Amino acid sequence: MGLTSNKVLVVAVALAVLFFIATIWLWPRLARRGWRAVVGRVGLLLVTQLALFAAVGLAANRSFLFYGSWADLFGQEQEMGVVVDHAGGSKDLRVVGTQALDVPGGGRPAVAGQIQKVVVSGERSGIVSPAYVYLPPEYFQERYAKRTFPASVVLTGYPGTAENLIKGLKYPRTAYLQAKEGRMQPMILVMLRPTVAPPRDTECVDVPGGPQTETFFADDLPKAVSESYRVGTKPRNWGFMGNSTGGYCALKIALHHPDRFAAGAGFSAYYRAAEDVTTGDLFHGNDGLRKRGDLLWSLDHRPQGPTSFLVTTSQHGEDNRKDTLAFIKKVKSPAKVSSITLKSGGHNFNTWNREIPPGLVWMGAKLSAT
C-alpha cells in the first residue's frame, strides 16, 4: 500500500482508535503499583500517541504531498531520472520521464493522454525548474496530428510541490474528464510550483540582483513549451492559472503581459506581493517595483490589455473577499473579469477542487488552438 493511498490512512486511523479504546479498557488493570503496571501504562500511552501522530501525519501528507512514497519518506529514493528524446524538442526543455493518468485506459496516451516530467531551462532568466506537462489524448491521435493546442501554465501555492497539482488538485484528470464530456476543448497543462529558486518565495517577481522569476514565467516557459510541443505563440494560445501564491502569480503575469497571455485565473488569490521572512527583500527599496506588484494599484495606474481574468472567493472562510471585490470593480475594458463566489470555503484543497473544474472550462473558452 502506497504512502498516499486511502487504505494506509484508514488503517492508521483504525489503529489509533483501537489503541485509544484499549487504553481506556485496560487502564484499571494497570492502575496498581509495580514496575510491570508502570511499563504497561507507559507502553499504552506511547503506542496510542504514535498511532495518533501517524494518522495525522499521513492525512497531512495526503493533502499536501510532502512525500510521494515510502522510499521518499525514508530518504531511500535514489533512482536517477531517465532522459527521453522528444521529437521536435527544444534545447530549453528536456523530457525526463512519463506517467499515466489515473483514468480508464490510462496507460494508452491516445486514449487517456499522458503526463510528461520535464526540466525547463530559462534562456533569459537562467532559471532551471522541473515541471509536468499534461498532454490530452487528442495530442496523440492521428486525426489531430497537425493541430496545435491551447496551453495553460498552472502553479501551486507556496511552498507546495508540482505533484500537488496532479495528485491533490487533480488538474490532468479534471481536464481529461471535462474535455471527454464536451465541456471544454482539449488543452495542454504546464504544471509547476512558483518556487523556482528554492527555498525562497520570490512572488513571481524579477528580484533586482536576484532570481528573474517573472521573466522565467512570462517569457522563458511559454517559449520552451511552444518549441517542444504543438502550442502556438500568440496570446490567445496561452493562459495562466493557480491557487494562493500561484493564483497571485497567474493574475499578475496575465495582467502585466497581455502580449503573452489571454487569460489568468486566480483561485483564492491575494493581490499584493507578500514581503516576509520567506521572500526576503524583493524590491530593494524600489517603490515602483513594489507598486507594480500590487495588482489593485496596477489596475488603477497602468493600461489594461485585452485580458480575461477569473477570481474566486467565498462568503465565509476566505480572507480575500474584500480585495477580490475591489479587483473586480477596477477591471476596465478591454479587459474582462469573471468570478466564482462560494457560500463557504477556506484556503484549502477542498475549496480549490470545487473551483478548478469550472475554472478549467472557463479557461478553455478563453483560449484558441490557432
The pLDDT-based confidence of 62 (bands split at 50, 70, 90) is low
pLDDT tens, 317-335? 899 999 999 999 999 999 9
- Is cis: bond before 137, omega within 30 of 0? no
Task: Report the candidate in 293, 297, 185 with the shortest Cα–Cα distance to residue 239.
Answer: 185
CB atoms within 10 A of CB 99: 14
207 vs 55, higher pLDDT: 207
Range in 44-58, 108-122, 353-367 the model is least confident about: 44-58
pLDDT tens, 17-39? 888 887 888 777 777 777 777 77
Q: At what angle do helices 171-180 and 349-366 cross, to 10 degrees?
A: 50
Range in 8-12, 77-81, 199-203 the model is least confident about: 77-81
Dihedral (CA of 230, 233, 237, 239) sign: positive
The H-or-E segment that residue 176 falls in is: helix 171-180
User: Would you say residue 82 has pLDDT above 90?
Assistant: no
pLDDT tens, 124-159? 999 999 999 999 999 999 999 999 999 999 999 988
pLDDT tens, 216-247? 999 999 999 999 999 999 999 999 999 999 99
Dihedral (CA of 276, 266, 97, 7) sign: positive
Q: What are the phi and psi torsion angles at 187 (to 5°)?
A: -145, 140
Greatest mean pLDDT range, 31-35, 58-62, 67-71, 247-251:
247-251
Cell triple for residue 123?
534562456
- How do 151-155 and 238-243 pair as beta strands? parallel
Domain ranges across the chain: 6-73, 93-366
Cell triple for residue 82?
531517465
The whole-number pLDDT of residue 49 equals 87
The whole-number pLDDT of residue 81 equals 41
For the domain covering 93-366, report its CATH number. Answer: 3.40.50.1820
CA distances from 251 to 191, 192, 337 (A): 16, 16, 11
Share of the chain above pLDDT 90, in %: 64
Residue with the three cell numbers 533586482: 208
